Amino acid sequence: MRGNRSDAAASEIDDVADEFESLRPRLFGIAYRMLGSTVEAEDIVQDAWIRWQGTDRTGIHSPAAFLTTMTTRLSINVATSSRLRRETYIGPWLPEPVLTGADPELGAENTEALEVGILLLMERLTPMERAVYLLHEAFDYPYREIGEVIGTTEANARQLSRRARQHLTESSGTRVTVAEKNRLLRSFLAAAQSGDVQRLQTLLTDDIVLYSDGGGIVSAARRPIEGRDHVGRFLLGTLQKLQGNVDMQLTPVNGSDAFVFRKDGEPYIVCSIGVNDRGINRIFFVLNPQKLGALR
């Protein structure tokens, strides 16, 4: 009898683990989009797993809904404290790059709110606005369910989503397809490698901004570089310094291609771009070694 009870308990634990693992990509996708950090997202998912093991599941009809609610609320709490920490960050803060070759959507219905530029803009939203926006746009949750997840009404969830979309649309402009973005990235690389300043500048918008995130750990521009001429010359100087010292690969990062520069096999810089209908309007250099762990 004791053996039967032991076997049943072990089987239940296995079932619980299997169920959680099937939902892990979605839970990680929610936490990562909320926080822009793979480390913090993994911590959230691990916390959710520990809590899930200790939960009385007899009255839970939808584990997916329960775990989504838990993960979102944990992420909102962390996002509130993270905002305060980032106010003292040295230089521009950028989201941690995440590889998307194996899972291009990170458990979501689409790639919305996965691009580096959108994740950066989402930092300007309140944690509640961010949660509503990504649950609806990236994971296709209806507003009624979103209201239940974050503890508000359906009407208020709609209002939060409307404010978030308005702010992001005003800041990002007209978006383009991933294919067009990847095409511009290759043209950008070809112009930069050839040293063709004029060709490079034709790909950049007038309001181009380049961000470099070194986190105060490695040398990087402490302020964003703005303007077609300044950005073009900075890029050419940087790439000339890198030639011969690093290997460069085109790698799927955050839903589209990016340049990953490696030194002695270790990731050194990740360069991705933001694009609108006028050309390349944002360039992101992540150099902080603490943010490159997911690419090792």
On the question of pLDDT at 6 being above 70, the answer is: no
Per-residue pLDDT averaged across 23-32, rounded?
96
Q: What is the value of pTM for the model shown?
A: 0.92
Task: With cut-offs at 50, 70 and 90, classify the pLDDT of residue 240.
Answer: confident
Give the pLDDT score at 10: 61
Distance separating alpha carbons of residues 115 and 209, to the nearest angstrom: 16
Does the structure show a pLDDT above 70 at 2? Answer: no
Judge whether 168 and 133 are in contact, CB under 8 Å.
yes
pLDDT of 233 > 80? The answer is yes
Question: Within 13 Å, how many C-alpha atoms sit on residue 231's CB side?
Answer: 27
Q: What is the mean pLDDT of residues 58-81?
A: 94
- Round to whole Å and give the CA distance between 172 and 188: 20
The arithmetic mean of pLDDT across residues 241-262, rounded, is 92
pLDDT of the residue at 53: 92
pLDDT category, 5, cuts 50, 70, 90? low
Task: Note the pLDDT tens digit of each residue in 199-224.
Answer: 999 999 999 999 999 999 999 999 99
Least-confidence region, from 62-76, 100-114, 136-150, 223-237: 100-114
Looking at residues 25-44, what average pLDDT do you find?
Answer: 96
The C-alpha atoms of residue 93 and residue 122 are separated, in whole angstroms, by: 13
Tokens of 61: 């009809």
φ and ψ at 219, to 5 degrees? -70, 130
User: pLDDT class for 251, splitting at 50, 70, 90?
Assistant: very high
Residue-wise pLDDT for 104-139, tens only, equals 888 887 887 899 999 999 999 999 999 999 999 999
pLDDT of residue 150: 96
Q: Which of 37, 133, 25 is nearest to 78 (CA)?
A: 37
